[in-house]
């Protein structure tokens, strides 16, 4: 009596006769894994790790880096307020007068001091010794602004790290790294904006009067002018919000059709620039 081939044997024969069938089955599994782990760039096996770089993710990373550096420069540079130019007379008739422009920052300032041989030298240094200083020497509004800027810089620095690693790491706390980073950047931008608003509120203190004359008050700087680093902080704050919005487009670019096709083809490095 002739035995009929089993269903398993028939399936094996089909696979041997049609090599495309096994590859098609593998691609289906690959697609299911890609859809099941949309934010994970590394799965259980190392051979399934992949890196995705697009023009929008690269732009977001570079813009985040530039904004972080700009905000650091703005906070540490003592030219938020620039006083009127002053003529410093030498002690002797032979020495020439010098023109000096004092300036103030968030926690530091630039002044001229006398040194040996009757020479004036510029001295830029922090005037803050502790947060318990009098409000006349270190305005309370400036203290709050400094805290806000430092916290904002901490958040922005964290997003810089995530943006540099976003090509490999796609999730943070089971959320998209782009969504989390964009939200954190928006919070940092709000902190910067509050700091920019609070800084002029402390313009009525005695320290400001020493540089900008007695005709000063909150949001009025008398004879002084706003320095370029304050404008740099404004621009950095605006760009921080732009980075927050750009993170959305960066995430969309990593889920494009070309990226999915590259994943299905088994590519470990996908570069769309």
pLDDT at 173: 64
Q: What is the pTM of this model?
A: 0.74
Per-position DSSP letters for 122-144, written without gaps between them: EEEEE--S-TTS-TTTS-HHHHH
Burial (0-12, 13-18, 19+ Cβ within 10 Å), 199:
buried
- The half-sphere exposure of 231 on its side-chain side, counting CA atoms within 13 A, is 5
Is residue 58 within 8 Å of residue 265, measured between CB atoms? no
pLDDT band at 256 (very low <50, low <70, confident <90, very high): low
Q: Average pLDDT, stretch 12-39?
A: 47
Flag the least confident range among 76-85, 88-97, 115-124, 150-159. Answer: 88-97
| Residue 174 zone, left/alpha/beta (φ > 0; ψ -120 to 50; rest) | left
CA distances from 218 to 25, 199, 215 (A): 71, 9, 11
Q: Average pLDDT, stretch 196-217?
A: 89
The CB density around residue 42, as the number of other CB atoms within 10 Å, is 14
Which range has the top average pLDDT, 1-5, 161-165, 192-196?
192-196
Sign, CA torsion 151/187/229/102: negative
Mean pLDDT over each residue of the chain, to the nearest integer: 76
pLDDT at 204: 87
- Residue that the structure tokens 């509004």 belong to: 141
Is residue 181 within 8 Å of residue 247, measured between CB atoms? yes
**Per residue in 149-188, pLDDT tens?**
999 999 999 999 988 876 566 666 677 788 889 999 999 9
Rounded Cα–Cα distance for residues 243 and 268 (Å): 27
pLDDT at 110: 86
**204 is written with which tokens?**
């009525």
Flag the least confident range among 10-24, 115-129, 198-212. Answer: 10-24
- N residues, the chain: 273
**48 is written with which tokens?**
């399934």
pLDDT at 67: 96
Sign, CA torsion 189/65/61/42: negative
Rounded Cα–Cα distance for residues 227 and 103 (Å): 8
pLDDT band at 271 (very low <50, low <70, confident <90, very high): low
pLDDT band at 88 (very low <50, low <70, confident <90, very high): low
Q: Average pLDDT, stretch 99-121?
A: 73
Q: Which residues have CB under 8 Å from 36's CB, separation 6+?
A: none
């Amino acid at each position: 009596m002739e035995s009929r081939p089993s269903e398993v044997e028939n399936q094996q024969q089909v696979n041997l006769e049609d090599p495309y069938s096994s590859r098609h089955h593998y691609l289906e599994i690959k697609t299911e894994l890609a859809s099941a782990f949309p934010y994970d760039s590394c799965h259980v096996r190392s051979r399934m790790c992949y890196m995705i770089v697009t023009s929008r993710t690269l732009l977001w990373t570079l813009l985040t880096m530039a904004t972080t550096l700009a905000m650091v420069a703005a906070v540490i540079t003592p030219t938020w307020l620039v006083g009127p130019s002053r003529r410093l007379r030498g002690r002797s008739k032979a020495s020439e007068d010098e023109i000096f422009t004092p300036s103030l920052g968030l926690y530091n300032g630039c002044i001229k001091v006398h040194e040996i041989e009757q020479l004036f030298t510029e001295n830029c240094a922090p005037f803050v010794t502790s947060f318990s200083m009098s409000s006349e020497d270190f305005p309370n509004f400036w203290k709050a602004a400094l805290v806000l800027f430092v916290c904002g810089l901490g958040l922005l620095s964290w997003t810089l790290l995530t943006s540099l690693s976003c090509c490999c790491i796609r999730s943070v706390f089971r959320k998209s790294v782009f969504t989390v980073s964009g939200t954190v950047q928006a919070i940092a931008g709000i902190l910067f904006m509050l700091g920019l608003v609070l800084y002029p509120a402390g313009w009525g203190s005695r320290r400001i009067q020493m540089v900008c004359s007695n005709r000063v008050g909150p949001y009025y700087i008398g004879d002084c002018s706003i320095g370029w680093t304050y404008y740099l902080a404004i621009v950095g704050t605006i760009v921080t919000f732009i980075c927050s919005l750009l993170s959305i487009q960066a995430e969309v670019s990593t889920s494009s059709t070309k990226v999915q096709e590259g994943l299905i083809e088994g590519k470990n490095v996908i570069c769309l620039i």
